[in-house]
Amino acid sequence: MFLEQFPVEGRANGWIEVICGSMFSGKTEELIRRIRRAEFANQALLLFKPQIDNRFSEQNVVSHKGSSFEAVIVQHPKEILSNWKNQKVVAIDEAQFFEDSIVEVCNELANKGVRVIIAGLDMDYQGVAFGPMPQLMSIAEYVTKVHAICVSCGNLAHYSQRTVQQTEQVLVGAIEKYRPLCRTCYQQK
């Protein structure tokens, strides 16, 4: 469980938090929970999402449970820097869809004293590292791995099984294209 205890909070120090896990594990829900707390504390914040992710809304980040928060849509990570106007908190959803320069952008923001909160899939449907997520986890001060529940056996799930025949790595979808599985059930697929 992530306790959000930051001993240097309130100073000029920035840091990076990564929330990762499989589909349906609550990554976006946790991201929204954290930014709502920052909003309640009157901390200026910005939330970004990649242009490719238009599953539930064109303008908002929306969790599978229906929680939502207004977002700035960007195609390239450098656009995050051009939209940033000294907000104390910058949040990024679906970071796995960004190119590797997202790592440099997050480091630059944290070095400027920003709390950077990132959510994304750590593995793709084949069970391999997804996009820049391994690099983001390695530079983060805090990493939270959340788990779904395996729809086959009820154990903790951390794999996202694709249920359609497309084989490209990036295939935006939800319950109609993916289901969460534990290691054992994923290996038996």
Check: CB of residue 147 under 8 Å from CB of residue 123. Answer: no
The residues that bridge with 162 in the sheet, in sequence order, are 178
Give whole-number Cα distances, 55 to 38, 73, 97, 125, 158, in Å: 26, 13, 14, 18, 21
Q: Is residue 94 among the annotated active site residues?
A: yes
CA distance between the termini of the chain? 30
Active-site residue, selected from the candidate residues 30, 58, 94, 108 = 94
Give the whole-angstrom CA distance, residue 10 versus residue 162.
43
Phi, psi dihedral angles at 130 (to 5 degrees): -110, 115
Rounded to whole angstroms, the Cα distance separating 165 from 115 reads 39
Please state, in angstroms and rounded to a whole number, the distance separating the CA atoms of residues 8 and 26.
Answer: 27
What positions carry a catalytic annotation?
A: 94
